[in-house]
Amino acid sequence: MCTVCGCGTSTIVEDPGVGHARAHIHDEHDHHHAHEDGIIDFSKGPAGVHVPGLSPERVISVERDILSKNDAFANANRARFEKDRILALNLVSSPGSGKTSLLVAAICALRDRWPIAVIEGDQQTSRDAERIRATGAPAIQINTGKGCHLDAHMVGHAAEHLGLAPGGLLFIENVGNLVCPAAFDLGEAHKVVVLSVTEGEDKPLKYPDMFAAADLMLLNKSDLLPHLDFDVGACIAAAARVNPRLEILLISARTGEGLPAFTAWIEARAAAMAMP
């Protein structure tokens, strides 16, 4: 997470007025990694990560500070969404998985029945927000700069400017990244992880935290399966190994395969939230 990548070049510490701020922290370097069968594994120490210049204990302390502050904002977001009966979904994936195309298709299928708003996250440009606005749904673009994920403070600020309609749907399209967004609660009701069949069936095992945090996996670009050596069964088994409760839908934004099942999944949860 961000104590590793830094959302920039330095270790992240929390600034209450900003959310994230960069600072140089120098602790005694401590080696906590395992060598086994040609693997150097930096996940075996107490922090589960390796950060140059920081002891595992310091990494844990910084991580707790960051996530504690984020969780406070996330809880405030969640309370607001629940009060207004807004179903908030956090869409996460690697870059190029087809999140935005799926989101456009879902909005077009749902817009006549539900008020919809979108928060878009990218490091730069407003291209995805422009694609969303073309559907008629309001969208706010958050550019994170060097940041590799959205955080709850960003989402809360964007939600204030969106003017969310009570009883509606809020889609949050996170920055393309299968690592850091897994750790940051945005106040959403569910994380939805999108995996395209062009990425390889072993992604749930390589990036387990993301798939463990999600409630639904959309296996996208299914229309390309005849042209690929992608083992759907192996991918589903890998995802189930990481997260046995994970629901999985095979889907194609291009052909519409699986889209009715996805929109039905959304509507069932939106309807449940709308009940008094």
Helix axes 152-162, 56-83, angle to 10 degrees: 20
Give the span between the Cα atoms of 64 and 160, in whole angstroms.
27
Query: CATH for 84-274?
Result: 3.40.50.300
Give the span between the Cα atoms of 222 and 232, in whole angstroms.
10
The pLDDT tens digits of the residues spanning 129-156 come to 999 999 999 999 999 998 999 999 999 9
Which residue type, as a one-letter code, is found at position 181?
P
The token pair at 123 is 């490091």
The pLDDT tens digits of the residues spanning 86-107 come to 999 999 999 999 999 999 999 9
**In the predicted model, what is the mean pLDDT of the chain?**
86
Is pLDDT of 65 > 90?
no
Q: Where are the alpha helices (DSSP H) in the chain?
A: 2-5, 56-83, 99-110, 127-133, 152-162, 203-206, 208-213, 232-242, 259-274
Global pTM value: 0.82
SS3 content of the chain, % helix, strand, coil (to 5): 40, 20, 45
On the CB side of 38, CA atoms within 13 Å amount to 0
What is the percent of the chain where pLDDT is above 90? 72
pLDDT (0 to 100) of residue 88: 98
Could you give the 3-state DSSP secondary structure of residue 16? coil
Contact 97, 175 (CB under 8 A): no
Give the span between the Cα atoms of 11 and 33, in whole angstroms.
20
Where does the chain hold its CATH 3.40.50.300 domain(s)? 84-274
> 250 has which bridge partners?
219
Where does the pLDDT of residue 38 fall: very low under 50, low under 70, confident under 90, or very high at 90 and above? confident
pLDDT (0 to 100) of residue 66: 77
pLDDT (0 to 100) of residue 68: 86
